[in-house]
Amino acid sequence: MSLRLNNKAAYIPPQCYVDTQDVPNGRVHNTCYTCHAQGRGPDFVNNSNRQKNYSFIPEQVKDNPWTNLLTNRLQKADAIRNSEIQDYVRQSNYFDDQDKIVLADKLADLPAEWDFDKDGAWDGYVPDCNFRFDPEGFDRAANDQYTGWRALAYYPFPTVHWPANGAMGDVMIRLPEAFRTKGGAFDAEVYRLNFAILEALHKREDVMIRSVDEGAYGVDLDGDGALGTATRVAYTWAQGGGMSYVGDAKALLEQGQTQLAAGLFPVGTELMCTVRYLDVAPDGSILMADRFKEVRYMKKARWLSYTELEAIADDRFPGPEHPERLGERALRKPRSRNRQSGRMAASGLHRGRPRRPSAPDLRGDRELRGLPWRRWRDHGQRVLLLAKARHRRLPRRLVPPLSEGPKRHQRAQSHVRRGRRAPLRILFLPHVRWRGG
Note down the domain range covering 195. Answer: 176-254
Between 413 and 192, the more confident residue is 192
Using one digit for the tens of pLDDT, what is the confidence trace for 123-144?
999 999 999 999 999 999 999 9
DSSP state, 78?
A: H
Number of domains in the chain: 3
Give the per-residue pLDDT at 190: 98
Using one digit for the tens of pLDDT, what is the confidence trace for 17-45?
888 888 788 888 888 888 888 888 899 88
Q: Assess whether the previous peptide bond of 42 is cis (omega < 30° from 0).
A: yes
Helix (H, G, I), strand (E, B) or coil at 190: helix
Asked whether residue 341 is domain-assigned, the answer is: yes
Give the per-residue pLDDT at 286: 92
Query: Rounded mean pLDDT of 69-84?
Result: 91
Helix (H, G, I), strand (E, B) or coil at 275: strand
Cα Rg for the chain, rounded, in angstroms? 25
Using one digit for the tens of pLDDT, what is the confidence trace for 413-428?
333 333 333 333 333 3
Between 28 and 181, the more confident residue is 181
Asked whether residue 105 is domain-assigned, the answer is: no
Alpha-carbon distances, residue 115 vs 6, 119, 218, 272 (angstroms)? 21, 7, 47, 23
Give the per-residue pLDDT at 2: 56
What is the distance between the alpha carbons of residues 105 and 111, in angstroms, rounded to a whole number?
A: 11
**Range with top average pLDDT, 20-34, 291-305, 350-364, 394-408:** 291-305
Give the per-residue pLDDT at 260: 96
Burial class (CB in 10 A: 0-12, 13-18, 19+), 281: exposed
Bridge partners, 429 (sequence order)? 382
Give the per-residue pLDDT at 238: 83
Given 220, 254, 288, which residue is the final one in a domain?
A: 254
Give the per-residue pLDDT at 16: 85
Give the per-residue pLDDT at 362: 33
Helices then strands (H, E): number in the chain? 9, 11
Per-chain mean pLDDT for the chain:
76
- pTM listed for this prediction: 0.71
CA 55 to chain centre: 26
What is the distance between the alpha carbons of residues 365 and 375, in angstroms, rounded to a whole number?
A: 14
Asked whether residue 405 is domain-assigned, the answer is: yes
Asked whether residue 98 is domain-assigned, the answer is: no
Give the per-residue pLDDT at 52: 80
Asked whether residue 227 is domain-assigned, the answer is: yes
**Range with top average pLDDT, 160-169, 346-355, 385-394, 423-432:** 160-169
Query: Rounded mean pLDDT of 108-125?
Result: 90
Asked whether residue 360 is domain-assigned, the answer is: yes
Given 56, 79, 102, which residue is the final one in a domain?
A: 79
Asked whether residue 237 is domain-assigned, the answer is: yes
**Range with top average pLDDT, 176-180, 223-227, 240-244:** 176-180
Q: Assess whether the previous peptide bond of 24 is cis (omega < 30° from 0).
A: yes
CA 224 to chain centre: 31
Query: Rounded mean pLDDT of 207-236?
Result: 96
Residue 374 contacts residue 332 (beta carbons within 8 Å): no
Given 237, 254, 271, which residue is the final one in a domain?
A: 254
Residues ≥6 apart with Cβ < 8 Å to 128: 101, 104, 147, 149
Does the pLDDT of residue 188 top 80, yes or no? yes
Query: Rounded mean pLDDT of 428-433?
Result: 32
Asked whether residue 99 is domain-assigned, the answer is: no
Q: What percent of the chain has pLDDT over 70?
A: 70
